[in-house]
C-alpha cells in the first residue's frame, strides 16, 4: 500500500495558519479517498478531514477553517489550516482508511498552537 510522509507542522500562535503536506511514495491517482487524522496528547486519534472524488468532509470543529486538497500530479494531499486554535494542537497524519487501520501510519507532523 502507499506510504505517506507528512510535513509542514510547527509552532504557531492562535489565529495563525499552517499548510500540511502529505507526500505519497507512489501514485495516488487511483486512490478515491484519503484522510487526515490527528491525535492530541492524552486523546484518541480522530478523523479531521476526508477528500474523495468530487467531495470533501470535515469534522464540525474545523469546518470553515481547514481545507483539504490533493494534487495527483505530485502525489500529495494538503491540509490548509487557518484560524488555528490551541485545541488544534496535535500530531497530524494521513491515512488511507476510515475506520482507521492499525497499519499504514507515517510519523505524522506536530502542530502546536499557542494561546
Across the chain, mean pLDDT equals 96
Q: Output the pLDDT for position 77.
A: 97
> Is the pLDDT at 76 greater than 90, yes or no?
yes
> Is the pLDDT at 53 greater than 90, yes or no?
no
Collapsing DSSP to helix, strand or coil, 88 comes out as: helix
d(CA 23, CA 15): 26
When pLDDT is averaged across residues 79-92 and rounded to a whole number, the result is: 98
| In contact, 6 and 110? CB cutoff 8 Å | no
d(CA 25, CA 63): 29
Tell me, what DSSP letter sits at residue 103?
S
Q: Output the pLDDT for position 36.
A: 98
Q: Output the pLDDT for position 33.
A: 95
When pLDDT is averaged across residues 60-76 and rounded to a whole number, the result is: 97
Q: Grade residue 40 by pLDDT with cuts at 50, 70 and 90.
A: very high
d(CA 63, CA 48): 9
Q: Grade residue 44 by pLDDT with cuts at 50, 70 and 90.
A: very high
d(CA 50, CA 68): 7
In the chain, beta strands by DSSP E: 4-7, 10-13, 18-24, 34-39, 46-51, 56-58, 66-71, 76-81, 90-95, 109-114
Amino acid at each position: 500500500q502507499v506510504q505517506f510522509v507528512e510535513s509542514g507542522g510547527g509552532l504557531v500562535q492562535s489565529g495563525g495558519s499552517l499548510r500540511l503536506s502529505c507526500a505519497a511514495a507512489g501514485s495516488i491517482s487511483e486512490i478515491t479517498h484519503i484522510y487526515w487524522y490527528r491525535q492530541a496528547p492524552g486523546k484518541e486519534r480522530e478523523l479531521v478531514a476526508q477528500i474523495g472524488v468530487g467531495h470533501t468532509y470535515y469534522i464540525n470543529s474545523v469546518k470553515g477553517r481547514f481545507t483539504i486538497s490533493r494534487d495527483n500530479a505530485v502525489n500529495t494531499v494538503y491540509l490548509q489550516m487557518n484560524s488555528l486554535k490551541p485545541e488544534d494542537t496535535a500530531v497530524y497524519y494521513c491515512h488511507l482508511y476510515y475506520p482507521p487501520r492499525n497499519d499504514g501510519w507515517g510519523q505524522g507532523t506536530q502542530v502546536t498552537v499557542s494561546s
